[in-house]
Amino acid sequence: MTWWSIVIAAGAGTFLIRYLPLLFGTHLARGEGRLSRFLGALGLAAIAALIVLSMSDLWWQAPHWRGGVRLALGAAAVLLVQRLTPNVGLATLVGAGVYGAAGWALAD
Amino acid sequence: MNPERAISTSWRSAGQGLRESLSLVVGYAPIAFSFGVIAVQSGLTPWQAVGISLLVFAGASQFVMVAMMAAGSSGLVVLSAVLMMNLRHLFYGPALATRLVALPRRLAPWLAFGLTDEVFATAMSKGTSRPLEPAWCLGLAAGAYLAWVGGTALGAGVGAGWASDGGYVAQALDFVLPALFLALLAQAWRRARWPVVVAAAGATLLGMVWWPGHVAMLVGMLAGALVGSRRSRTQCSQEATT
């Protein structure tokens, strides 16, 4: 396989993985059955799984109490700002800023 | 609604989705920049790096793709790894459809192309408070796509002379995606849904003991959704008021 053919096949395959269920699985989402509730809960479950995955990546970069404190402070800042202002972008930026600042404050 | 008014409403929804993609743009740009840098440092030309982001548009699997290509893996092995990593996206389309007011067939391919983890999470989070317009989702995905391709181009363009200094700004950018997901969780939070969150987070954490992250995430998602599917209709209707 040439380099570009791998990239094109990867792009086409990824697209089909997203497209075919959207096209043919939509009727599964209708109604109030168990499958519909399963799909309805999938979004929240995906967000929770992504939080664990991304946080643990950061933790393993520096598995030390300082890293834990930084993560906790950053997370607390996100939740506080999101509580005060329902603005996802602002909460994200403030959380990242607090995480960066905590790294500076807790440095040796 | 007459056709002209419908088109105008769609454009307005798309514009709103594009504006609301700002949090995704902030999260995507540094990661895409890193991808561009790593791709060039792995021996790809800037055009090849941008080509991957243009055609594949699937964050984590692009990093794996470049690493495997640089290591000399065969095309079929690289392709299998990318598709295996992206298998979790199989569930996104039908789940998103539960939150859409309608799914016009002509828009479905565009919606599907932009259905990354982050776009899906943002749409589902917003979809807990109101039904979603397909055009809004397209605007959201367009913002994310532009940030992803633009960030890659920037990273690939200046990548040869750039190396992360590991400074506090770079570290702060590392926290952007976890922060985005936390904010989305807070936005979508309903008290009655805590079992879904606990099951998904717990299963992902446990899964990471045995499997790579993308597999653990798939297991966590399915565990959380299974717990969600076991709730009664009464619990679902109570959820709207908690």
Task: Give the ipTM of the model, two decimals please.
Answer: 0.86
Angle, helix B59-70 to helix B22-41, in steps of 10 degrees: 0
Q: Which of B29, B27, B60 is nearest to B148 (CA)?
A: B29
Q: What is the pLDDT of residue B11?
A: 87
Contact residues on chain A for B90, CB-CB shorter than 8 A: 17, 21
Q: Which of B186, B203, B226 is closest, CB to CB, to A79? A: B186
Q: Would you call A23 and B94 a contact, using CB atoms and an 8 Å cutoff?
A: no
Q: Would you state the pLDDT for residue A50? A: 85
Predicted pLDDT at A4 = 92
| Cα-based torsion angle of the residue sequence A55, A58, A64, A67 in order, rounded to the nearest 10 degrees | -80
Contacts of A29 in chain B (CB under 8 A): 94-95, 97-98
Res. A107 pLDDT band, cuts 50 70 90: confident
- C-alpha distances in Å from residue B82, one per residue of A15, A88, B92: 12, 30, 17
Is the pTM higher than 0.80? The answer reads: no
Is A17 a residue whose pLDDT tops 50?
yes
Bigger pLDDT: B209 vs A35: B209
Residues of A in contact with B58 (CB under 8 A): 14
Residue A31's CB is within 10 A of a number of other CB atoms, namely 11
- Give A33's contacts in chain B (Cβ within 8 Å): none
Of B108, B185, B197, the CB nearest to A22: B108
Instruction: Pick A11's closest partner by Cβ from B55, B105, B127.
Output: B55
Instruction: Determine, for residues A99 and B175 on separate chains, whether the beta-carbon distance falls below 8 Å.
Output: yes
Per domain, the residue ranges of chain B are 3-166
Contact list, B205 vs chain A (CB under 8 Å):
52, 56
Q: Is B121 on the interface with A (CB under 8 A)?
A: yes
Q: What residues does B100 pair with on adjacent strands?
A: B132
Among B69, B182, B197, beta carbon nearest to A75: B182
Supply the pLDDT for residue A108: 67
Give the gap in angstroms from C-alpha B8 to the nearest C-alpha of chain A. Answer: 25
Residue B169 CB neighbours (<10 A): 13
The pLDDT value recorded for residue B215 is 85
Residue among B61, B124, B148, B180 with most chain A CBs within 10 A, to mutate: B180
Residues in chain B with CB shorter than 8 Å from the CB of A101 are 168, 172
Q: Do A14 and B52 touch (CB under 8 A)?
A: no
> Are B79 and A13 a contacting pair at CB < 8 A?
yes
pLDDT value for B128 = 78
Check residue A16 and give its pLDDT: 96
Is A37 in contact with B231 (Cβ distance < 8 A)? yes
Higher-scoring residue by pLDDT: A91, B8: A91
Residue in chain B lying closest to A55 (CA): B178
**A88 contacts B180? CB cut-off 8 A:** yes
Token pair, residue B206, equals 């446990």
CA distance B135 to B102: 10
Interval A40-79: pLDDT, tens: 788 788 889 989 988 998 888 878 888 899 999 999 999 9
| pLDDT (tens place) for every residue of chain B, 242 residues total | 566 777 778 889 999 999 989 888 888 888 888 888 888 888 899 999 999 999 999 987 888 888 888 878 888 888 988 888 788 888 889 889 888 998 888 999 999 999 998 899 889 888 877 889 999 999 999 999 999 999 999 989 886 565 555 567 677 778 887 888 898 888 877 776 889 999 999 999 999 999 888 888 889 989 999 998 886 555 554 444 33
Which is nearest to A71 in space by CA: B200, B24, B205, B175?
B175
